[in-house]
Structure 1
Amino acid sequence: MDSRMVTDPLADVRVLRIGDRLAGRTLTRLLTDQGARATVVDLDDPDARAKAIAACAGCDIVVDAGAIGRADAAGLGFDDLAPVRPGLIYCSLPVFPPAPADVAPGAGGASAGRVSAGTVSAGTVSAGTVSAGTVSAGTVSAGTVSAGGVPVDDDIAIAAELGLNFVAGREPRDEELPVGSSFGAFLAAGYVMAALLRVRRDPSGQRIVVPLAAATLTTVARRLIRAADPALVDPVAGPRLPIASRYACSDGCFVQSGGAYSRFVETFVDVIGRPEWRPEAVQALLGLPTAADEAAWRGRLDAVFLERTADEWERAINDAGGSCTRCRTRAEWLAEPHARESGIVVDDGTSIRAGRAVRVFEAAPDGGSPAPRDGGAAQRGDGVAQRGDGVAQRGDTVAEHGDGVAVARNGGGLGDSGSPLRGVVVVDLSIVLAGPTCGRALGDLGADVIKVDDPHRPISPYGWLEVNRGKRSILVDLRRDEGREVLWRMLSGADVLLENYRHGKLDQLGFGFADVARACPGIVYASLNAFDVGGPWAARPGWEHNAQAATGMQLALGGWGPGRPPDQVTYPLNDFGTGLLGAYGILLALRRRDATGAAQFVAGSLARTATFISSPLFEEQAADRAASSVRWLRCPDGYVGVLHSVSGRAASEGGALDGDLIRDAADVAGRAASREEAAERLRASGFGCVVVRGSAELPDRPWVRDSGLVVEWEHPRWGALRQSRARGWATGFEPSPSYPAHDPGQDTSVLLAEHGYDDVDIRRLVESGAVASVPLFEMWSVA
Structure 2
Amino acid sequence: MDSPIFAGTSQAWAALGADSSLLDRVSYGGPSGGLPARLPVMELARATVAVCSLAAAELTSVRTGRPVPRVRVDDESVSTAFLSDRLVRVDGRAWSTFASLSRFWRAADGSVRTHANYPHHRARLLTALGVPEDAGEEAVAGAIAERTALVVEETVYAAGGLAVAARSPEEWAKSEQGVLVTGQPLLTTARVDDAPNRVLRDAALPCAGLRVLDLTRVLAGPVATRTLALLGADVLRIDAPQLPESQEAHNDTGMGKRSTTLDLGDATGRRIFEELLDEAHVVVTGYRPGALDRFGLTPEALGERRPGLVIAQLSAWGCYGPWHERRGFDSLVQVATGIAELEGSPDALGALPAQALDHGTGYLLAAGVLRALTEQHRTGGTRLIRLALTQTAHWLVHDLAPAPGEDDIFDAGRWLTETDSPMGRLRHALPPVSYEGSPVNWARPPGLWGTDAAVWGGA
Does TM-score exceed 0.5, indicating one fold?
yes
Partner of 1:176: 38
Inter-CA distance 586–37: structure 2 relative to 1 (3 Å threshold): closer
TM-fit CA distance, 1:569 = 2.7
Distance 1:261 1:691 in 2: 35
Question: Could you tell me whether the CA contact under 8 Å between 2:272 and 2:454 is conserved in 1?
Answer: no
Partner of 2:283: 497
Partner of 1:711: 417
TM-fit CA distance, 1:422 = 0.9
Q: Of the candidates 361, 377, 383, which is equivalent to residue 594 of structure 1?
A: 377
Question: Could you tell me whether the CA contact under 8 Å between 1:419 and 1:735 is conserved in 2?
Answer: no
Distance 1:237 1:37 in 2: 38
Instruction: Please state whether the residue corresponding to 1:748 is helix, strand or coil.
Output: coil
Partner of 1:220: 83
Q: What does residue range 22-37 of structure 1 map to in structure 2 within 5 Å?
A: 22=5, 24-36=6-18
Question: Could you tell me whether the CA contact under 8 Å between 2:10 and 2:23 is conserved in 1?
Answer: no
Q: Of the candidates 56, 77, 100, which is equivalent to residue 194 of structure 1?
A: 56
Partner of 1:368: none
Inter-CA distance 428–750: structure 2 relative to 1 (3 Å threshold): closer
Distance 1:597 1:540 in 2: 34
TM-fit CA distance, 1:215 = 1.7
2:342 is the alignment partner of 1:556: yes
TM-fit CA distance, 1:595 = 4.0
2:129 is the alignment partner of 1:272: yes
TM-fit CA distance, 1:549 = 0.5
What is the number of residues matched between the two proteins?
458
Question: Could you tell me whether the CA contact under 8 Å between 1:507 and 1:513 is conserved in 2?
Answer: no
Question: Could you tell me whether the CA contact under 8 Å between 1:190 and 1:584 is conserved in 2?
Answer: yes
Partner of 1:610: 393
Partner of 1:334: 173
Distance 2:320 2:97 in 1: 35
TM-fit CA distance, 1:604 = 1.1
Partner of 1:510: 296
State the one-letter code of the partner of 1:430: T
Inter-CA distance 487–393: structure 2 relative to 1 (3 Å threshold): same
Q: Of the candidates 102, 105, 122, which is equivalent to residue 247 of structure 1?
A: 105
Question: Could you tell me whether the CA contact under 8 Å between 2:52 and 2:367 is conserved in 1?
Answer: yes
TM-fit CA distance, 1:721 = 2.0
Larger radius of gyration: 1
Q: Of the candidates 175, 188, 191, which is equivalent to residue 359 of structure 1?
A: 188
Inter-CA distance 432–751: structure 2 relative to 1 (3 Å threshold): same
Instruction: Please state whether the residue corresponding to 1:210 is helix, strand or coil.
Output: strand
Query: Which TM-score applies when normalising by structure 2?
Result: 0.91
2:412 is the alignment partner of 1:698: yes
Distance 1:210 1:692 in 2: 16
Question: Could you tell me whether the CA contact under 8 Å between 1:446 and 1:735 is conserved in 2?
Answer: no
Partner of 1:323: 162
Question: Could you tell me whether the CA contact under 8 Å between 2:207 and 2:231 is conserved in 1?
Answer: yes
State the one-letter code of the partner of 1:181: E
Distance 2:308 2:116 in 1: 36
State the one-letter code of the partner of 1:357: L
Q: What does residue range 7-86 of structure 1 map to in structure 2 within 5 Å?
A: 17=1, 19-22=2-5, 24-36=6-18, 60-63=21-24
TM-fit CA distance, 1:735 = 5.3
Question: Could you tell me whether the CA contact under 8 Å between 1:207 and 1:732 is conserved in 2?
Answer: no
Distance 1:453 1:335 in 2: 37
Q: Of the candidates 466, 476, 479, which is equivalent to residue 252 of structure 2?
A: 466
Distance 2:153 2:223 in 1: 29
Q: What does residue range 70-469 of structure 1 map to in structure 2 within 5 Å?
A: 90-94=25-29, 96=30, 110=31, 158-159=32-33, 162=34, 164-165=35-36, 175-200=37-62, 201-228=64-91, 234=95, 236=96, 240-242=99-101, 244-251=102-109, 253-274=110-131, 277-278=132-133, 280=134, 297-341=136-180, 344-346=181-183, 355-363=184-192, 392-394=193-195, 400=197, 407=199, 412-413=200-201, 416-469=202-255
Deviations 1:154-186 (A, max 9, x none): xxxx33xx3x44xxxxxxxxx212222211111
Question: Could you tell me whether the CA contact under 8 Å between 1:420 and 1:733 is conserved in 2?
Answer: no
Question: Could you tell me whether the CA contact under 8 Å between 1:531 and 1:606 is conserved in 2?
Answer: yes
Instruction: Please state whether the residue corresponding to 2:236 is helix, strand or coil.
Output: strand
Deviations 1:223-277 (A, max 9, x none): 322223x6x664x569x541x22222222x2121223333333433333234xx1
Inter-CA distance 718–205: structure 2 relative to 1 (3 Å threshold): closer
Inter-CA distance 606–320: structure 2 relative to 1 (3 Å threshold): same
State the one-letter code of the partner of 2:223: T
Runs of 4+ residues over 6 Å off in structure 1: none
Instruction: Please state whether the residue corresponding to 2:374 is helix, strand or coil.
Output: helix
TM-fit CA distance, 1:500 = 0.8
TM-fit CA distance, 1:455 = 2.9
Q: Of the candidates 518, 522, 546, which is equivalent to residue 308 of structure 2?
A: 522
2:420 is the alignment partner of 1:724: no
Query: Which TM-score applies when normalising by structure 1?
Result: 0.55
Distance 1:514 1:720 in 2: 44
Instruction: Please state whether the residue corresponding to 1:62 is helix, strand or coil.
Output: helix
> Could you list the runs of 5+ residues in structure 2 that have no partner in the other structure?
none
State the one-letter code of the partner of 1:264: H
Deviations 1:380-427 (A, max 9, x none): xxxxxxxxxxxx2216xxxx5xxxxx53xxxx53xx222111111111
Question: Could you tell me whether the CA contact under 8 Å between 1:425 and 1:449 is conserved in 2?
Answer: yes
> Could you list the runs of 5+ residues in structure 1 that have no partner in the other structure?
1-16, 39-59, 64-89, 97-109, 111-157, 166-174, 282-296, 347-354, 364-391, 401-405, 629-645, 647-688, 755-783
Distance 2:274 2:250 in 1: 24
Instruction: Please state whether the residue corresponding to 1:712 is helix, strand or coil.
Output: strand
TM-fit CA distance, 1:509 = 2.8
Inter-CA distance 261–718: structure 2 relative to 1 (3 Å threshold): closer
Distance 1:537 1:455 in 2: 27
Inter-CA distance 181–272: structure 2 relative to 1 (3 Å threshold): same
Q: Which moved more, 1:436-445 or 1:456-465?
A: 456-465
Question: Could you tell me whether the CA contact under 8 Å between 2:423 and 2:448 is conserved in 1?
Answer: no
Question: Could you tell me whether the CA contact under 8 Å between 2:234 and 2:456 is conserved in 1?
Answer: no
Instruction: Please state whether the residue corresponding to 2:83 is helix, strand or coil.
Output: helix
The sequence identity of aligned pairs, in percent, is 25
State the one-letter code of the partner of 1:307: E
State the one-letter code of the partner of 2:104: R
State the one-letter code of the partner of 1:62: L
State the one-letter code of the partner of 2:293: D
Distance 2:433 2:156 in 1: 43
TM-fit CA distance, 1:492 = 0.8
TM-fit CA distance, 1:467 = 0.6
State the one-letter code of the partner of 2:418: E
Deviations 1:695-739 (A, max 9, x none): xx631xxxx2xxxx3222221x23322211132432354456422
Distance 2:368 2:457 in 1: 29
Distance 1:426 1:500 in 2: 14
Distance 2:433 2:220 in 1: 20
State the one-letter code of the partner of 1:180: M
CA-based RMSD of the aligned residues comes to 2.7
TM-fit CA distance, 1:750 = 5.6
Question: Could you tell me whether the CA contact under 8 Å between 2:77 and 2:412 is conserved in 1?
Answer: no
The structure with higher relative contact order (CA 8 Å, sep 6+) is 2
Partner of 2:327: 541
Distance 2:38 2:81 in 1: 19
